[in-house]
Chain A
Amino acid sequence: MSSGVAIETHDLTKLFKSRDGNSEGRSFLFNRKEPRMVKAVDHLNLEIREGELFGLLGPNGAGKTTLVKVLCTLLPPDGGNAFVNGFDVAREQMDVKRSIGALFSVGERGAFWRLNGYSNLEFFSAIYNVPKSKRHERIMEVLDFVGLKEKAFERYQRYSGGMKRKLALARVLLPDTPILLLDEPTVGLDVISSRTLRDFIKNDLSRKAGKTVLYTTHYIEEASQICDRIGILNRGKLIACDTPDALRRVIKKGEVVEIRLKSITDAQIEATKTMDGVVDVVSQVEDSVLGQRLLRFHLESIGSLPLILDFFFKERIQLIDLKREEPTLEDAFIELTGTGLEK
């Protein structure tokens, strides 16, 4: 394994039995559907660099959680290899466990409701091998880090959703491991808590503490806001992996320009459609009294724009505004997978 790489997978495959499917697979004897093998992770090749905040984006069932569970040794791989901090997840499980902190989307239930925040962390610091002499200091440090120091001795059951998530994160931070695997950490949080947690992960964990973070989400905006690179996972396959900007550029086929106009006729709109370099024109009436319309031009290149503007000038059509549209990460996702995501 090359240095500077925190997580590496080679043809990693994880299979699950599924009884869904067609009746062709029914057993002859019992008329019961024969299980078929589903590739939850399909020959995945991935490399996450040390100190990187890597987003794994994909719809539900894409294989994100399965991948995280394989990386943290909860699930054994069925094919290929995976290395975490240089350790093989199949053969060096204890070394892998000492290198990671893992937060699952059900993290709230992993804590003990009748204990206070401090006592919860005290228990987990013991099972994460935090030395007894440093335990109190470390607990207070992580509580301060996540902003829960003031609430340390309040019962966990009285914590808000955001506080519970923060305590789960504090638990993950206790052993001070170099790699964090965060599986949908903002699930179930309100907008403010979700944003606070994202900022914390980006600014404090990634930038200041220099942790390597694998962050899974099915929220496009989340991934594009905080991640250095994003891998798009679909049906267990990594179909794209790059920076958010680069992913947007991947699908940038041609240009989209929106022009708001006054006093343009249908005939004039039809005329623009036949111009060189114009792929398509979508017209929308914005104000029928004022005769205002919004035209969305799909152009082969931006070089076609002067020709269109020249046409409007000659026809004495009043131009109100013009906007060049940038493709979004969601456009990239739809382009790559042929399906959308929840926002």
Chain B
Amino acid sequence: MKWQEIEKIFYFIKRDMTSFSTYKTNMILMVLSALFGALSYAYLGSNATMQSVLEMYHISFKDYLVIGISFSTYISQALTLVQATATPWQLEEVLVSPTGLGTFIIGSSAWGFIWSTIVVAIYLAVGSLAFGVVLSVNLIGTVLVLGLGISTLVGFSMIGAGILIVVKQGDPVTWLMGILTSVFGNVLFPPQVMPYQLRVISYFVPQYYFFTCIRLMMIGWSIQAILPDLLTLALMCAIILPSGYFIYRWCLKTARKNGTLSWF
């Protein structure tokens, strides 16, 4: 390769690096994500985790993992769906029509959840048929926990989307929720295996209650048995969902007032 061509490649790298470095928030978030990712995978592979799963749920670590990963699809959908509706042209087209904000949010998110349900069903079917994951589903309980969990996360998603509409840059709420899910959400390992100082954080994270409850519903526990965790999740949902809606509405109103709805 000629020197001139190598020099061109250098300028490609310089261009992209300079451009990338202007997104400082994004850079910081990526570094932090890597750190938290390493933390969660460290716990994932430990013997203490496997032992803890067996003691708490009386199921194998494989079953624990398959159920957790399957339902994390819902969580990631719930966190990002409202944001996806925040594209300025879509917002404007819908806001000039006689359609309410609630209909807009639910309508825009509905297909994502239907698709997530299909994906979860595939995960669980493959897990059950190919890898012998033992399931004994409490259907009513599962639907109840799913409804509460998704509604809570949609509340956070509305806060994130609202911030995005106003500040037009990265949305830290969605990022934070994603991190909290992977480390403190009881998806890949029970937070009980972490030191107390870290473990205590999970008690403030709705995902922890969601994954605890959904896992127990999938292995046949009764609703009464998970009542304390279920009520905590319901309480969080009752606070976060309406708060999210009002924050989103306020952000939308602010962007409309400032005339920045179509700026991105």
How many chain B residues touch A (CB < 8 A): the figure is 17
Whole-angstrom distance between the Cβ of A89 and the nearest chain B Cβ: 11
Q: Is B259 in contact with A106, judged by CB distance below 8 angstroms?
A: no
Consensus secondary structure, chain A interface: mixed
Q: Is A110 in contact with B90, judged by CB distance below 8 angstroms?
A: yes
**A74's contact among B90, B98, B99, B256, by CB below 8 Å, is which?**
B256
**B94's contact among A69, A98, A127, by CB below 8 Å, is which?**
A127
Determine which residue in B92, B93, B96, B99 has the highest number of CB atoms from chain A within 10 A of its CB, and name it: B96
Contact of B214 with A by CB under 8 A: no
Q: Report the Cα distance A110→B96, complex, angstroms.
A: 12
Which A residues are in CB contact (< 8 Å) with B99? 127
Q: Is B259 in contact with A72, judged by CB distance below 8 angstroms?
A: no
Chain B interfacial positions (CB closer than 8 Å to A): 89-90, 92-99, 253, 256-259, 261-262
- Give residues of chain A (135-160) contacting chain B, Cβ–Cβ below 8 Å: none
Q: Is B96 in contact with A16, judged by CB distance below 8 angstroms?
A: no
Q: Is A109 in contact with B89, judged by CB distance below 8 angstroms?
A: yes
Whole-angstrom distance between the Cβ of A12 and the nearest chain B Cβ: 14
Which B residues are in CB contact (< 8 Å) with A75? 256-257, 259
Whole-angstrom distance between the Cβ of A97 and the nearest chain B Cβ: 5
- Give residues of chain A (116-131) contacting chain B, Cβ–Cβ below 8 Å: 124, 127-129
Minimal Cβ-Cβ distance residue in B for A76: B257
Known pairs A74-B95, A97-B97; list 16 more (Cβ under 8 Å).
A66-B259, A72-B96, A74-B256, A74-B261, A75-B256, A97-B96, A97-B98, A102-B96, A104-B92, A106-B89, A106-B92, A110-B90, A110-B93, A124-B93, A127-B94, A127-B99
Q: Is A110 in contact with B98, judged by CB distance below 8 angstroms?
A: no
Which A residues are in CB contact (< 8 Å) with B259? 14, 16, 40, 66, 69, 75
Whole-angstrom distance between the Cβ of A180 and the nearest chain B Cβ: 12
Contact of A73 with B by CB under 8 A: yes
Q: Report the Cα distance A322→B180, complex, angstroms.
A: 83
**B98's contact among A17, A76, A94, by CB below 8 Å, is which?**
A94
If A104-B92, A110-B93 touch, does A128 touch B261 (CB 8 Å cutoff)?
Answer: no
Which B residues are in CB contact (< 8 Å) with A127? 94, 97-99
Chain A interfacial positions (CB closer than 8 Å to B): 14, 16-17, 40, 66, 69, 72-76, 94, 97-98, 100, 102, 104, 106, 109-110, 124, 127-129
**B97's contact among A66, A69, A128, by CB below 8 Å, is which?**
A128
Minimal Cβ-Cβ distance residue in B for A172: B96
Q: Is A73 in contact with B98, judged by CB distance below 8 angstroms?
A: no
Q: Report the Cα distance A186→B212, complex, angstroms.
A: 57
Q: Is A98 in contact with B90, judged by CB distance below 8 angstroms?
A: no
Whole-angstrom distance between the Cβ of A191 and the nearest chain B Cβ: 26
Q: Report the Cα distance A128→B98, complex, angstroms.
A: 6
Minimal Cβ-Cβ distance residue in A for B253: A76
Whole-angstrom distance between the Cβ of B262 and the nearest chain A Cβ: 7
Which B residues are in CB contact (< 8 Å) with A100? 96
Minimal Cβ-Cβ distance residue in B for A100: B96
Which B residues are in CB contact (< 8 Å) with A72? 96
Which B residues are in CB contact (< 8 Å) with A74? 92, 95-96, 256, 261
Q: Report the Cα distance A94→B95, complex, angstroms.
A: 10
Whole-angstrom distance between the Cβ of B218 and the nearest chain A Cβ: 35
Q: Report the Cα distance A66→B262, complex, angstroms.
A: 12
Q: Report the Cα distance A124→B94, complex, angstroms.
A: 9
The 7 closest A-B pairs by CB, nearest first: A110-B93, A109-B89, A97-B98, A127-B99, A127-B97, A102-B96, A72-B96
Q: Report the Cα distance A75→B258, complex, angstroms.
A: 8
Q: Report the Cα distance A75→B256, complex, angstroms.
A: 5
Minimal Cβ-Cβ distance residue in B for A93: B98
19 contacts between A and B (CB under 8 A): A16-B258, A17-B258, A66-B259, A74-B92, A74-B95, A75-B256, A94-B98, A97-B96, A102-B96, A104-B92, A106-B89, A106-B262, A109-B89, A110-B89, A110-B90, A110-B92, A127-B94, A127-B99, A128-B98
Whole-angstrom distance between the Cβ of A262 and the nearest chain B Cβ: 60
Whole-angstrom distance between the Cβ of B165 and the nearest chain A Cβ: 13
